[in-house]
Structure 1
Amino acid sequence: MKRYKIGYRTIKTAVGATIAIAIASYFNLEFASSAAILTILCIQTTKKKSVHAVYTRLIASLTGMAFAYILFETFGYNPFVLGIMILIFIPTIVSINVSAGFISSVVIIMHLYSEANFTIELLLNEISLMAIGFGTALAVNMYMGDYQKELERYIDELEAIYRSIFREIAKYLRNGDTSWDGRELIEAEELLNRAKSLAFKDVENHLTRKQNEFYLYFDMREKQFEIIERVLPKITTLPVMVQQAELVGDFMEDLAENVHSGNTAKTFREKLEIVKKEFANMPLPETHEKFLAMASLYQFIEQMDEYLMIKQTFKGMNKAKG
């Protein structure tokens, strides 16, 4: 049996529905249970989504009330008029980009239809239900879990994977070790997807913020990962091992020991320039195979320079280590 887990959204839905119906009942509103329905329809995974949900449902409901008043009071409260109203109403809310509020608006419309008498008291009742339902949803959804510790854990895990990849590259360049199965590449891709998704959710939980350092960090690492995937074939298919391979291997070992969320990319780009100069001062290749190996290695270090350049544009994390 699959393990059942109660999440924040489930708890907030239950709490919000309870509060909404309790308030509506306290004020003796008609259709008090509908306040709970309106609340449930507005509980979302992030604060920004919740605010947008309330906006679309409020506009759609008010529009629906206007349509109901005009059509029902003009042509009568009967199924035929209701059908005509819905045919006109749906394209209208789609055109003003609030179609997500259709279900909420139908709840209000059906109240008016069932009463078959549009009065000031009924209007105030429906507005009160919306205020309680939507307001409660906003209130309970202002609390969101803190993702910082989980995001920091993702950073640590991803950096450990990058270190492992660079060490495997160094081992191969130094002694031709081909035992690596490349599983870290799959792990890195999966971790990046989860981390960026969570970081984006964290952005959505700050109403005045469009991005944060976690999202920028994982976006930067994703661009670096694309380079890692691109350059691996250049060195794993070397026809022969040349003297320059050990030089590049030493650099990769040094880089592996310094993968962290701070920004030392400038230092390593300077070290890479030294590697390029030493590379250029080494003897020219004697065979075609050595020439191909040296060309692949040079392309590799050029790509690693691009890898470091991406990191250099990132200002670093506040939690930076070393």
Structure 2
Amino acid sequence: MLMILGAIGIIHFVTFSRRCICLNFNKKIGWRTIKTATSVGIVITLFEWLNRGSGLLACLSAVYSLQTNTSQSVTFGKNRIIGNILGVFCAIFILLVQTSGWLPEAIALNLGTAVGIILLINLCNLFNLSHLVFPASAAYLVVILGDHGNDVIGYGLNRVLDTIIGSLISLAVNYVLPNPHLQDNY
């Protein structure tokens, strides 16, 4: 009986898998993919040359900011930078409160991180910036949970700079490399 149920489960899984997974190997690698990979490669190379660390936020910013055309890239890059600034300043505030010694360290980290997310989301909503919740939360968590040592403010400001670098690189790559979709419209 157990083997029959197991076989039915496997058949159901295979049937379910066939219905849901459709792989299309005829797709070509598009310009946006090439531009994104180029942006990330430039960011990593630049960060190695400058000895700035991993460049995680800069790479994420480059991927997030690179859109179909330059004007959309500017909008997304600007949103990423503004969201990052909000997240970093909220994280700096929460970290300064956490390290003040009011609560035991474990409670301050858990409670402070959660309260900071609530504060950040409500701040975005208060100023009609709900579209910035994701980039702001990502930057907030990177700073809160990152290895900032005793220099919370310097660490946070460097993460903002990383985001600006990533956004500017993707904007430059999007501007310099061709956009076949725009050429078709002429």
Q: Normalising by the residue count of structure 1, what TM-score does the alignment of the two structures yield?
A: 0.42
Aligned-pair distance for 1:57?
A: 1.2
CA distance in 1 between counterparts of 2:141 and 2:59 reads 16
Aligned to 2:135: 104
Does 2:149 align with 1:126? no
**Do the aligned partners of 2:90 and 2:116 also contact (CA within 8 Å) in 1?**
yes
> 63, 86, 105: which is aligned to 2:117?
86
One of 148, 151, 168 as aligned partner of 1:135: 168
CA distance in 1: counterparts of 2:53 and 2:36, whole angstroms: 22
The structure-2 alpha-carbon separation of the partners of 1:15 and 1:100, relative to structure 1 and needing over 3 Å to count, comes to: farther
Asked if structure 2 preserves the Cα contact closer than 8 Å seen for 1:41 and 1:104, the reply is no
1:66 counterpart (83, 89, 93): 89
Q: Deviations over 1:205-263 (max 9, x none)?
A: xxxxxxxxxxxxxxxxxxxxxxxxxxxxxxxxxxxxxxxxxxxxxxxxxxxxxxxxxxx
Partner of 2:10: none
Residues 96, 9 of structure 1: alpha-carbon distance in 2 compared, 3 angstrom cutoff:
farther
Shift in alpha-carbon separation, 1:112–1:147, aligned structure 2, 3 A: closer
Indicate the residue corresponding to 2:6 in structure 1: none
How many residues align? The count is 152
Q: Which has the larger radius of gyration?
A: 1
C-alpha contact 1:112 1:118 (8 A) present in aligned 2: no
Alignment of 1:48 with 2:71, yes or no, is: yes
RMSD: 2.4
Unaligned runs of 5+ in 1: 153-322
| Match 1:115 to one of 129, 147, 154 | 147
Unaligned runs of 5+ in 2: 1-22, 100-107
Cα distance in structure 2, aligned partners of 1:148 and 1:106:
34
Distance 1:10 1:147, change over 3 A: closer
Q: Structure 1 residues 47, 23: CA separation in 2 closer, same or farther (over 3 Å shift)?
A: same
Paired with 2:95 and 2:182, the residues of 1 have a C-alpha distance of 52
Partners of 1:45 and 1:84 lie apart in 2 by 36
Question: Which amino acid is 1:108 matched to?
Answer: A
Alpha-carbon spacing, 1:102–1:30, altered in 2? closer, same or farther (3 Å): farther
What's the offset of the Cα at 1:58?
0.9
CA 1:104/1:149 → structure 2, altered by over 3 Å: closer, same or farther? closer
Query: What SS is found at the alignment partner of 2:32?
Result: helix
Change (3 A) 1:26 1:108: farther
State the TM-score, normalized to the length of structure 2: 0.70
Structure 1 residues 12 and 70, CA gap change in structure 2 (3 angstroms): same
1:109-168 residue CA offsets vs partner (Å, 9 max, x unmatched): 23322225444532442133122111112111224524466346xxxxxxxxxxxxxxxx
Question: 1:68 touches 1:112 (CA, 8 Å); kept in 2?
Answer: yes
The answer to whether the aligner puts 1:145 opposite 2:174 as a matched pair is: no
Could you tell me whether the CA contact under 8 Å between 1:23 and 1:132 is conserved in 2?
A: no
Q: Could you tell me how far apart the structure 1 residues matched to 2:44 and 2:87 are?
A: 22
What is the DSSP-based 3-state SS (H/G/I as helix, E as strand, rest coil) of the residue aligned with 1:83?
helix
